[in-house]
Chains A and B, each alone.
Chain A
Amino acid sequence: MSATRGWCLRLKAQPDFRVDLGGVLPARLAAMTADEVARVEVRHGNERLALGELFDIAALDGVAGESAPELRLDGDLSRFDAIGQDLDGGVLHIAGAVGDRLGLSMRGGEIRVQGSAGQLVGGEMTGGLIEVTGDVGDFAAGALPGSMDGMRGGTLIVRGKAGARCGDRMRRGTVVLHGDAGDFLAARMVAGTIAVAGRVGAHCGYGMRRGTLVFAGPLPAVPSTFVATHQDIVVFWTLLRRSLAYHGGPFAALPVRAPRRLVGDLAADGKGEWLLPG
């Protein structure tokens, strides 16, 4: 057994092809010796490569069992996909950009990226936390092609911008988006909460069935399939506002008084809601 709480993998050089890092998870590696970690094979194009050929491997300070298993990845990993896929515990720190499918289907644990990420960040995740300091690509918190549900739980925090179709078919969980969102934000959303502080693109809430969209920044253009309701929602708003305030930035300054509320998409039963503070 390893005597360390985890490992730091520092990228040696950019690979020739895209690398699938699925299965390279903190808890799995923490149970290995350095040699065993170096021999773990990952897909590289149509071939398999050992981690030792891609990364310099060093043990993290600390003793196993004192804290959650941890894995640190260092370097520009924009050619590395499926980082943290199926994660169910432990902590994954990435210093640099990452590729597609970050945290896809993860069930627990934390992924923190100091950089940007590609498509499908947090796609179909059911639990845990993902925080990306940069931008994310299309279909963040969304669904894989052919799948009925996108994000199903957990929290996704994006400090930068999100691409198109963020929250597509999202069913549960929370997305906190500090920057702008692309087209079709919350399209076909089934439930859950998305809070956005930046501008949103076209067709926001298209086909939205249920769920909550909070606009902490510029107010969006309201489509004709969304209508205002006028009931007192201060209780729910206080619960939600206090939760969002934890994420700082514009979410920390959400007004105390209840926001304007719109419901829609009326073409899809109209049970989704937009909250427009200010």
Chain B
Amino acid sequence: MSSPAQETTSAMNAAPGSVTLNGVTIDDTFAEAFPMKATRVLITAHNETWARNAAVSMTGFATSVIACGCEAGIERMLGADETPDGRPGASVLLFSMSGKELAKQLERRVGQCVLTCPTTAVYAGLDEGEAIALGRNLRFFGDGWQISKMIDGKRYWRVPVMDGEFVAEETTALVKAVGGGNLLLLARDTDAALAGAEAAVEAMRAVRGAIMPFPGGVVRSGSKVGSKYASLMASTNDAFCPALTPLARRSELDDYTRCVMEIVIDGLTEADVSAAMRAGIAAIVARGAAAGVTRISAGNYGGKLGPFHFHLHKLLGGEGAA
């Protein structure tokens, strides 16, 4: 990747201070993120199929804390040599706005989606942090037949179920995390936007400690804070809606931008979010403007929403969040 200074440009739709790499304009703006609470759990099963089934089910309806209670995703699939019990597995990250809500969501989702899934077991995926219940309360499903075992300082619960026994570690760890990192991909049409977003998400999924919680990692209904309707806390991001380019009080789009996709990133640390955003930008830039994504921007609220500001140009320079 060239340095921003080498390719500063004045493309038609470029805002002042923007830079262009391989034809893709990168706005001089920042993604604004906020503090969250997070945990990681490891799900294992008899084979990868059933580990994935449990993980997909557990992370379902977990795109946004606005209405889902938590944001969750599969961080990555795990090989048999990476799990506590030597079986294939999945690493799952969950994020919520409070530790209490996170604990509630974790217990419900593990109870309904992992405990129920054939052959699974579940373990803590973090060692450091405040302990929250994992199998501690699910054990009561055993109706008195559950067995506690301490192995190497960790407590496990063995709950008799119809395929044998469900093994769950007593607790996992809760840590402070970062939610709401984002990239806006501005493209000439739907095909180009989807292809670019898919490529970016694929690159971002290689980053550990981060998830993109929306369907396929991509959200088309980016939102702004507030609404003309008092009962709504968020509404459509009119500045980036092509349908409103000539109508909205303030549009960020030009006539050539006809589709915008957003990628939202939650990470265990600022560095994880930075790394994921950097990977996404690099993937789009590598494809070049000829592939259809002509501009990368980010969503912020003037710095009033959250303390974490991921400046796109600083990410290009490898400096991470400011």
Chain B residues with CB under 8 Å of A191's CB are 148
- The answer to whether A233 touches B165 (Cβ under 8 A) is yes
**A238 touching B86 in the complex, CB below 8 Å, given contacts A231-B165, A233-B164:** yes
- The answer to whether B87 touches A236 (Cβ under 8 A) is no
Contact with A along B144-158 (1 / 0, CB 8 A): 010111111000101
Chain A residues with CB under 8 Å of B86's CB are 238, 242
Chain A residues with CB under 8 Å of B148's CB are 191
Contact among B44, B151, B160, B164 with A240 in the assembled complex (CB-CB below 8 Å): B151
Chain A residues with CB under 8 Å of B156's CB are 236, 239
Chain A residues with CB under 8 Å of B165's CB are 231-233, 235-236
- The answer to whether A235 touches B85 (Cβ under 8 A) is yes
Q: How far is the CB of B120 from chain A (nearest CB, A)?
A: 9
Q: How far is the CB of A93 from chain B (nearest CB, A)?
A: 23
Contact among A173, A212, A231, A235 with B44 in the assembled complex (CB-CB below 8 Å): A235
Q: Secondary structure of the B side of the interface?
A: strand
A271 in the interface, Cβ–Cβ < 8 Å? yes
A residues 169-203 with Cβ under 8 Å of B?
Answer: 172-174, 191-193
- The answer to whether A172 touches B150 (Cβ under 8 A) is yes
Interchain CA distance A172-B149 in the complex, whole Å: 9
- The answer to whether A236 touches B149 (Cβ under 8 A) is yes
Q: How far is the CB of A35 from chain B (nearest CB, A)?
A: 40
Chain A residues with CB under 8 Å of B160's CB are 231
Interchain CA distance A210-B164 in the complex, whole Å: 18
Q: How far is the CB of A8 from chain B (nearest CB, A)?
A: 31
B264 in the interface, Cβ–Cβ < 8 Å? no
Q: How far is the CB of A196 from chain B (nearest CB, A)?
A: 17
- The answer to whether B167 touches A236 (Cβ under 8 A) is yes
Residues of B in contact (CB 8 Å), total: 20
- The answer to whether B151 touches A232 (Cβ under 8 A) is no
- The answer to whether B150 touches A240 (Cβ under 8 A) is no
Contact with A along B46-70 (1 / 0, CB 8 A): 0000000000000000000000000
B121 in the interface, Cβ–Cβ < 8 Å? yes
Contact among B147, B149, B163 with A232 in the assembled complex (CB-CB below 8 Å): B163
Residues of A in contact (CB 8 Å), total: 22
Interchain CA distance A212-B85 in the complex, whole Å: 18
Chain A residues with CB under 8 Å of B152's CB are 243
**A210 touching B150 in the complex, CB below 8 Å, given contacts A231-B160, A232-B163, A233-B164:** no
Chain A residues with CB under 8 Å of B147's CB are 210, 271, 273
Q: How far is the CB of A210 from chain B (nearest CB, A)?
A: 7
Q: How far is the CB of A272 from chain B (nearest CB, A)?
A: 10
Which residue of A has the minimal Cβ distance to B84?
Answer: A239
A residues 201-231 with Cβ under 8 Å of B?
Answer: 210, 212, 231
Chain B residues with CB under 8 Å of A174's CB are 150
Which residue of B has the minimal Cβ distance to A244?
Answer: B151
Contact with B along A233-274 (1 / 0, CB 8 A): 111101110110000000000000000000000000001010
Q: How far is the CB of B145 from chain A (nearest CB, A)?
A: 8
- The answer to whether B150 touches A173 (Cβ under 8 A) is yes
Q: How far is the CB of A209 from chain B (nearest CB, A)?
A: 12
B residues 63-96 with Cβ under 8 Å of A?
Answer: 84-87
Chain B residues with CB under 8 Å of A234's CB are 85
Interchain CA distance A173-B85 in the complex, whole Å: 21
- The answer to whether A239 touches B85 (Cβ under 8 A) is yes
Q: How far is the CB of B44 from chain A (nearest CB, A)?
A: 7
Interchain CA distance A243-B147 in the complex, whole Å: 18
Interchain CA distance A242-B164 in the complex, whole Å: 20
Which residue of B has the minimal Cβ distance to A172?
Answer: B150
Chain A residues with CB under 8 Å of B163's CB are 232
Chain A residues with CB under 8 Å of B150's CB are 153, 172-174, 192-193
B residues 122-180 with Cβ under 8 Å of A?
Answer: 145, 147-152, 156, 158, 160, 163-165, 167
- The answer to whether B151 touches A243 (Cβ under 8 A) is yes
Interchain CA distance A191-B147 in the complex, whole Å: 9
Q: How far is the CB of B198 from chain A (nearest CB, A)?
A: 36
- The answer to whether A235 touches B149 (Cβ under 8 A) is no
Which residue of B has the minimal Cβ distance to A272?
Answer: B147
Interchain CA distance A173-B150 in the complex, whole Å: 7
Which residue of A has the minimal Cβ distance to B45?
Answer: A235
Which residue of B has the minimal Cβ distance to A229?
Answer: B160
Contact with B along A85-126 (1 / 0, CB 8 A): 000000000000000000000000000000000000000000
Interchain CA distance A176-B87 in the complex, whole Å: 26
Chain B residues with CB under 8 Å of A212's CB are 149
Interchain CA distance A236-B169 in the complex, whole Å: 11
- The answer to whether B164 touches A239 (Cβ under 8 A) is no
Interchain CA distance A233-B161 in the complex, whole Å: 11
Chain B residues with CB under 8 Å of A172's CB are 150
Which of B121, B148, B151: most chain A CB closer than 10 A? B151
Interchain CA distance A235-B119 in the complex, whole Å: 9
Interchain CA distance A232-B166 in the complex, whole Å: 10
Which of A153, A231, A232, A239: most chain B CB closer than 10 A? A239
Show 6 A/B contacts (Cβ-Cβ < 8 Å), sorted by A: A212-B149, A231-B165, A235-B164, A236-B158, A238-B87, A239-B85
15 more A-B contacts (CB under 8 A) besides A235-B121, A236-B149? A153-B150, A210-B147, A212-B149, A231-B160, A231-B165, A233-B165, A234-B85, A235-B85, A235-B87, A235-B167, A238-B85, A238-B86, A239-B149, A239-B167, A242-B86
3 smallest CB-CB distances across A and B, nearest first, come from A232-B164, A231-B164, A238-B85
